[in-house]
Amino acid sequence: MPGLLRGMARTAVVAGTATAVSNRVSRRQAERWAADEQSTQSQMPEESETDYQIAQLEKLAELKNQGILTEQEFEAKKKAILG
């Protein structure tokens, strides 16, 4: 019986440690991705961002003209693009 309890306790410790390490690795990876994304966006020239916004607005206008988007949907998406 003591051997069984010792084995169960060891298993619980190993499982807990593995979970903690996995969570820490996931958190660090997410932080790195966020930092990479932020640095990429800060390096983007202002003109290309404006060009991107214009292209997105043109696509939205096409969808609205085709009747795919309603006026309310168009306005909401436009506000999201323009910030």
Residues 59 and 31 occupy one common structural domain: no
One domain for residues 21 and 31: yes
Question: With 90 as the cut, is the pLDDT of residue 16 above it?
Answer: no
**42-67: per-residue pLDDT in tens?**
665 566 888 888 999 999 999 899 99
* Average pLDDT score over the chain: 82
Mean of the pLDDT values across residues 30-40?
79
Q: What is the pLDDT of residue 32?
A: 83
Q: In angstroms, what CA-CA distances link 65 with 2, 54, 68, 69?
A: 76, 16, 8, 8
Please tell me the predicted confidence (pLDDT) of residue 46.
62
The answer on 37 and 54 residing in a single domain is no
CA dist 11 → 15, 25, 62, 73 (Å): 6, 21, 60, 54
Coil, strand, or helix at residue 70?
coil
Q: Check pLDDT > 80 for residue 74.
A: yes
* Residue 57 and residue 25 share a domain: no
Torsion of CA 54, 57, 63, 67, to 10 degrees: -140
2 contact partners, CB below 8 Å, separation of at least 6: none
